Amino acid sequence: MKLGIHAYAWCSQWSNDTLDLIDKVKDLGMDFIEIPLMCLETFDAKAIKERLEQVGLATVTSTVLLNNTDITSEDPTVRAKGVAYLEDCVKATAAIGAPSFSGVIYSEHVRQTTNRPEEQLWQYSADALRPIARLAGDLGVQIGLEPVNRYETCLINTCEQAYRLKEMIGEENVKIHLDTYHMNIEEKSFYEATKLAGDDLIHYHLCENDRGIPGTGLVDWDGIFRALAEINYQGNAALESFVDCTDNMNTWVWRQLAPDGDTLLKEGVDFIRGKQKEYGVD
């Protein structure tokens, strides 16, 4: 298993001013950095790829859809804008040599609704993501569907629901991206959800139940690593925590979750590496 960290541990928006995080992650002995694509206006693919190659670090990308890029909107103009945004994200991912792009890419993040999602919502999402997946396939990129909790989406809260959308899309490069923070709310079992993802699991966010330092809260880390060992997981896993509120997505960081990003990384990595060794998840 390759271990990395999300850039949001230190910054609230990616730009050339944060390129030194690539060096920092490499110096800390991590395998990759997860780069957010929320603000493509400040995403310099050429500069990122050059720095990654210089320091010898891998990367993956992720994002969430907002109100004006919601591919499940009833407004066809908004759906089209969402498709165009996801196409740009896939191209940006390929441009920096990243093998996967994932996140809440199937519907608006924190969509305001009082009703359960109707079948049309699922169909809008599948129909929009199908050409995105095909474009990604042509560029050598895998797509990861990330289930998140009920307060952040009404569409995909569990691994099982992610599989449903994956089947509706019908493209081989559509995979699963799990996140322990959300699983803590929505799944009955960390172990069973991880086993269900199986060979389709390409990315894992390793977060404590409060998004603080892994190992300091309620997450069933033993169940997770037992499942990862049983499926012989060889994919990516990233520590994900947010250091502050941002103006490009909701993070809900109302208090300090760790003394700083460096402390979160050091203590979190020590804990995760320990679990890897304990369960033989190399």
* Residues with a known catalytic role: 146, 240
Contacts of residue 278, defined as CB under 8 A and 6 or more positions apart, other chains included, come to 225
What does residue 97 show for φ and ψ, rounded to 5 degrees? 80, 20
Give the residue from 257, 164, 183 showing the smallest Cα distance to 224: 183
Say how far apart CA 117 and CA 128 lie, in whole Å.
Answer: 16
Say how far apart CA 169 and CA 115 lie, in whole Å.
Answer: 23
CA distances for 174 relative to 52, 66, 131, angstroms: 25, 21, 11
Say how far apart CA 1 and CA 203 lie, in whole Å.
Answer: 10
Say how far apart CA 181 and CA 257 lie, in whole Å.
Answer: 13
